[in-house]
Amino acid sequence: MQYDLVVIGGGPAGLAAAIEAKENGIDKILLIERDRELGGILQQCIHNGFGLHIFKQQLTGPEYAERFINILKEKNIEYITNTMVLDITDKKEVYILNEKLGYKKINAKAVILAMGCRERTRGAISIPGFRPSGIFTAGTAQRFLNIEGYMVGKKVVILGSGDIGLIMARRLTLEGAKVIAVVEIMPYSTGLTRNIVQCLKDFNIPLLFEHTVIDIKGKSRVEGVVVAKVDENKNPIKGTEIYYECDTLLLSVGLIPENELSKKAGVIIDKRTSGPFVTESMETNIEGIFACGNVVHVHDLVDYVTLEAKRAGKAAAKYIKGTLRRDGVKIITINGKGIRYVVPQIININNSKEVTLFFRVDNIYKDCKLEVRLNEKVIKSIKKDKVTPGEMETINIDFSKLDIKQDDKLFVEVKE
Amino acid sequence: MYDVLIIGAGIIGTSIARELSKYNLKVCVLEKDNDVANGTTKANSAIIHAGYDAKNGTLKARLNVLGNQMFDKLCRDLDVPFKRIGSLVLAFDDNDLNTLHKLYDNGIKNGVKDLYILSKEEVINIEPNVNKTVKAALYAKTAGIIGPFEMAIALAENAYENGVEFRLNSEVIDIKKEDVYVVYTKNEKFKARYVVNCAGLYADKINDMVSKNRFKIIPRRGEYYLLDKSVKLVNHIIFQCPTKLGKGVLITPTVHGNTLIGPNAEDLEDKEAINTTREGLRFVLDTAKKSVEDIPIGMSITNFAGLRARTELDDFIIKEAEDSKGFINVAGIESPGLSAAPAIALYVLDILKSSGLEFVRKNNFKNKRKGIIKFSDLSFEEKNELIKKDSRYGRIICRCEEITEGEIVDAIRRPLGATTLDGVKRRVRAGMGRCQGGFCSPRVMEILSRELKVKMEDIIKDHEGSYILTGPTKKEVD
Ligand SMILES: Cc1cc2nc3c(=O)[nH]c(=O)nc-3n(C[C@H](O)[C@H](O)[C@H](O)COP(=O)(O)OP(=O)(O)OC[C@H]3O[C@@H](n4cnc5c(N)ncnc54)[C@H](O)[C@@H]3O)c2cc1C
Ligand SMILES: Cc1cc2nc3c(=O)[nH]c(=O)nc-3n(C[C@H](O)[C@H](O)[C@H](O)COP(=O)(O)OP(=O)(O)OC[C@H]3O[C@@H](n4cnc5c(N)ncnc54)[C@H](O)[C@@H]3O)c2cc1C
């Protein structure tokens, strides 16, 4: 089997990338999704709040996905579901598996990686205690409730204040469960402010900062958890232990880009994002392999996923047609003081004069400035009342009037 | 009426059952849990020790060395993952060097083959990640790694195929000696001429039902970290010098390519205390860093703990009760119990023989067991061949370990098949990967529910009472 473009992953990233490539003149496209239906993680996000930026509308996750799925179908873009990509090589050979075709090799001129992310588990953060049933990652619980139609418990403690945890606090409450508390080890939430208000405050669910779960009780099913306050080194403080009787512990302790497949193709992963190093065109270090969405870095708003995916789709089309530029000066972006990471990591201005930088701060800062420097020179400075690690920031940079030399450095920094 | 009743379906009970199934005997295994291999056999270091450290002259030493030699054939016959990767005991100072030589000498006395003392350079050459302050190491070429629950499950399946009965969910609550033994579970009673006690942590309780010669099992906990497959730290089993609490903290690859780090050793009262602790895990990590400084602990995918069934005696107790003929204790089977298991089984057969049980070989004994096909290990052509025969092999359920629906259905349908989420996990590894069942548990539950014809809400994780779902959601959603 031979295609111009293979897109791996049928979430919002994969969908938008495939559509954009088609609109840019690529015809032989195959989009591959391992789940039963297209839409990715959006299918289980039945709450409102998707598409505010792009559609100026409050859509649910499935509604947002449906808009793109419909366009995909109208444009006759070929897709297969229930199909898992098991391997990719740096020669852009894609190995797929499903019940009808069996195990097959596909050759592609270009590949777009859009595999999304997975949730961090109890094991990743080594919560001690027993290992009974009743411990779920928030996303798994969300799937049980919203897709399978089952409740996971009656009295719930949630560890971590990531968005999925917050959303699930509300969802479980509306389903008649008692959410006792949300416990967060950091002094701030990694979730969106609007979710803290709408999902916790409106339901009087307490949010405990600088606390964590230090023990899990129950030999068959969870019977309770011990929560304690932590010191500045995140060690529990003796004497601050609280015992909560509960039958369920939900974990919303972070997402990890799913790059096992990318690594098989030789794609290099940036430790700061856990996703591939990418260029302004969302191209990885392997020529012709592009990436977008949560596989590159974890997004909190789907709108930005779509934006980024369009970039990848457009660039892949250029690459297939042989018009993606490799010549010209390249700039490296650098996360300066107060910034955890910046995407893209490399910019070739021959491919686009205007680039949106995506980045996250490493702590809460109030009354500060977000500054972009080209080497020593400040080229942009934006006043902010408050920035938090839970909300991704973006800045547009117009390079057309700047004098750029090879290996110039573009710094993003927080100025207090 | 049975010839032999075996109490406990851990590695010991299943090894004995399989050995007995070679003969014309009526044998039954009683297990309190809902699956085999759900006790200590599922939570240990999974090492087939070479046998240099158990004190010369003990049963532990003799049966370890004998047992070790039996694994190649056993694992080939039963289709169980086993790799002789060799072990190293690292020495960091003169005291340790002294210990190495003592271990070496003890090993030679025990009859261990292929033991060598390696220089610092030789150690670093084969193990580039170990702490550079290492001075020397004892290399035991015959040490290996195994899938311990896979082994016990395979033994049980093969014993079953050869006629041994298995009664799960059957806790022994009393034993009476009449003209024969009458063994009571909650709802049934079983008569047998011989009873073999392999109840692990509860072997003392079982013994108390029959014999006046008491012993006490002291649970000694060991805690572990298990790291993601992408981490490659060591090529061999890396020990430090043993202390009075045992063989100490080790770092080893597992047969499936993960890295295992642990255990500590802590004596407890509670025989169900398989919880991990903050202090225990910290100790394990700090101690392991002496062997390999740079451990990416952020790549941990799970922690677990197991309980060693220790007695004051510091040796296995394998003998017929002096005051009760026909009742055989196989107790205090702490490490190297797994390594010794096949030899323990032979030893128990000898005891039964000398106690008067007649052994007549079956002529239709099937020594081979076909394991569950491991789809991801097949070649391109084999994969397609298999999917053509059964399309369920074309459907990946566990994404991290690449386990197909075909494999899961096989795990459920075969004799003594899986009935729980963890039962599936132990047989085919669905849910054992880096996402720890986050993606696949709803799918696996669906398959269990369909195959076993039970409701989703009735699927449990592991032991009785470990329910996962509490019922359907309300019809309308927000
Ligand atoms: C649980 C959750 C709640 C969220 N809530 C909100 C919210 O309220 N509002 C908002 O704006 N944003 C929200 N977001 C953020 C936003 O929706 C996500 O960032 C976005 O869905 C990411 O899109 P994606 O396409 O990169 O990944 P995904 O949606 O995860 O899609 C990736 C797809 O790739 C498939 N795939 C992966 N590997 C393979 C393979 N090997 N072979 C074939 N297919 C593969 C997966 O099955 C999946 O369908 C949420 C995110 C999550 C995870
Ligand atoms: C931390 C740790 C590390 C270890 N590392 C190694 C190693 O690397 N190499 C090695 O060789 N050995 C090792 N061991 C030792 C090895 O794991 C044990 O020797 C072995 O698993 C013991 O098996 P068993 O069958 O005796 O016990 P178990 O597996 O505990 O089986 C006993 C069974 O009896 C059942 N039972 C109990 N009471 C009743 C009752 N009343 N009625 C019915 N059934 C009952 C239980 O449910 C259980 O299934 C280690 C042990 C631990 C704890």
Ligand that comes closest to the CA of residue B15? 2
Task: Tell me, yes or no, whether A110 and A132 share the same domain.
Answer: no
Which residues in B lie closer than 8 A to residue A45 (C-beta atoms)?
none
**pTM (2 decimals)?**
0.94
Predicted confidence at residue A320, as pLDDT, reads: 98
Nearest-10 Cα torsion for B209, B213, B214, B217: -90
As a whole number of angstroms, the distance between CA B3 and CA B358 comes to: 10
B463 catalytic per annotation: no
On whether both B272 and B342 belong to a single domain, the answer is: no
A333 and A264 part of one domain: no
**Which of B371, B401, B423 is the C-terminal boundary of a domain?**
B371
Residue B475 confidence (pLDDT): 65
**Displacement of CA B398 from its chain's centroid (Å):** 23
Ligand nearest to the CA of A170: 1
Asked whether B171 and B32 are in contact (CB, 8 A), the reply is yes
Q: What is the pLDDT of residue B476?
A: 53
Q: Domain check: are A229 and A259 in the same one? A: no
- Are residue A70 and residue A127 in the same domain, yes or no? no
How many structural domains comprise chain B?
3
Task: Please choose, from the candidates A416, A414, A389, the residue with its C-alpha nearest in 3D space to the C-alpha of residue A185.
Answer: A389
- Alpha carbon distance A129, A214 (integer Å): 8
Please give the interface size between A and B, counted as residue pairs whose CB atoms are below 8 Å apart: 144
Contact A121 B302 (CB under 8 A): yes
pLDDT tens for each residue of B15-42: 999 999 999 999 999 999 999 999 999 9
Q: Can you give the CATH number for the domain in which A343 is found? A: 2.60.40
Q: Which of A103, A130, A143 sits opposite B442 (nearest CB)?
A: A143
User: Are A237 and A141 contained in the same domain?
Assistant: yes
Mean per-residue pLDDT for B153-170?
98
Question: How much is the average pLDDT of B115-131?
Answer: 98
- On whether both A339 and A374 belong to a single domain, the answer is yes
Nearest CA in chain A to B472: A150
φ, ψ dihedrals at B142, nearest 5°:
-85, -5
User: Within this chain, do residues B210 and B227 fall inside the same structural domain, yes or no?
Assistant: no
B204 with B333, same domain: the answer is yes
The reply to whether B224 and B129 lie within a common domain is yes
Has residue B171 been placed in a domain?
A: yes
Of the pLDDT bands very low, low, confident and very high (cuts 50, 70, 90), residue B430 is very high
Asked whether residue B247 falls in the same domain as residue B364, the answer is: no
Q: Which residue, of B326, B350, B371, is where some domain finishes?
A: B371
Please indicate, yes or no, whether residues B46 and B65 belong to a single structural domain of this protein. yes
* Cα–Cα distance, A14 to A2 (Å, whole number): 19
Q: Which ligand is nearest to the CA of A262?
A: 1
**Which residues sit with their C-beta closer than 6 Å to ligand 2?**
B 7-13, 30-33, 38-41, 44-47, 49, 171-172, 198-202, 206, 222, 263, 306-308, 333-339
Query: In the predicted model, what is the mean pLDDT of residues B313-327?
Result: 96
A153 contacts in chain B (CB < 8 Å): 470
| Residues B156 and B272 occupy one common structural domain | no
Task: Tell if the CB–CB gap between A149 and B462 is shorter than 8 Å.
Answer: no
Rounded to 5 degrees, φ, ψ at B363 are -90, -10
Last residue of a domain, which of A270, A301, A324?
A324
Give the Cα separation of A380 and A398 in Å (integer).
10
| Residue A402, helix vs strand vs coil | coil
List the single residue in A with minimal CA-CA distance to B299: A124
Residue from A411, A316, A303 nearest A357 by CA? A411
Residues B159 and B137 both lie in one domain: no
Contact B300 A126 (CB under 8 A): yes
Looking at the domain assignment, is residue B476 inside a domain?
no
What's the pLDDT score for residue A226?
98
Give the domain range for residue A24: 1-119+254-324
Q: Are residues B321 and B343 located together in one domain of the fold? A: yes
Residues of chain B contacting A96 with CB distance shorter than 8 Å:
none
- B144 pLDDT above the threshold of 70: yes
Predicted confidence at residue A329, as pLDDT, reads 86
In a domain, B464, yes or no: no
Which among B442, B460, B474 is the nearest to A175, CB-wise?
A: B474
A2 and A54 share one domain: yes
Mean pLDDT of chain B: 96
Number of domains in chain A: 3
Instruction: Write down which residue in A324, A356, A374 finishes a domain.
Output: A324
| B478 — pLDDT class (breaks 50, 70, 90) | very low
Please check whether residue B63 lies inside any domain of the structure: yes
The contacts of residue B96 (CB under 8 Å, 6+ apart) are B90, B135, B241
Would you say residue B466 lies in a domain? no
| Dihedral pair phi/psi, residue B408, rounded to 5° | -65, -40
Instruction: Check residue A328 and give its pLDDT.
Output: 83
Ligand 1 mean position, distance from CA A115 (Å): 8
What CATH number is attached to the domain comprising B247? 3.30.9.10
Domain containing residue A226: CATH number:
3.50.50.60
Instruction: Tell me the CATH number at B398.
Output: 1.10.10.1100
Residues B206 and B225 in one domain: no
- Low pLDDT (below 50) residues in chain A: none
- Provide the b/e sequence for A72-96 (b: ≥16 CB within 10 Å): beeeebebeebbbbbebeeebebbb
Quick check: is B454 in a domain? yes
Instruction: State whether A241 and A126 are in the same domain.
Output: yes
A364 secondary structure, DSSP code: -
Instruction: Let me know whether A338 and A389 are in one domain.
Output: yes
Which one of A1, A99, A137, A253 makes the best mutation probe of the B interface by having the most chain B beta carbons within 10 Å?
A99
Whether B469 maps to a domain, the answer reads no
Q: Is the peptide bond before B263 cis (omega within 30 degrees of 0)?
A: yes
User: Are residues B121 and B150 both part of a single domain?
Assistant: no
Contacts B388 to A, Cβ<8 Å: 102
What proportion of chain B, given as a percentage, has pLDDT over 70?
99
One domain for residues A345 and A359: yes
Residue ending a domain, among A297, A324, A351, is A324
Q: Looking at the structure, do residues A274 and A389 belong to the same domain, yes or no? A: no
Decide: residue B22, CB within 10 A, 0-12 exposed, 13-18 middle, 19+ buried: middle
- Integer Cα distance of B248 and B335 in angstroms: 12
Residue B416 is assigned to a structural domain of this protein: yes
Specify the pLDDT at position A356: 95
CATH number at B22 reads 3.50.50.60
Q: Which helix (H) or strand (E) holds A260?
A: helix A260-264
For A120, nearest residue in chain B (alpha carbons): B435
Domain with B177 in it: 1-82+145-215+311-371
Q: What single string gives the DSSP state of each residue in A197-237?
A: IIIIGGGT--EETTEEEEEEE-SSB--EEEEEEB-TTSPBP
pLDDT digits over B285-308, tens only? 999 999 999 999 999 999 999 999
Interface touch B460/A133, C-beta < 8 Å? yes
Domain boundary among B263, B284, B310: B310
Number of Cα atoms under 13 Å in the Cβ half of residue A139: 21
List B49, B101, B236, B256, catalytic entry: B49
A29 and A110 inside one domain: yes
B189 and B43 in a common domain:
yes
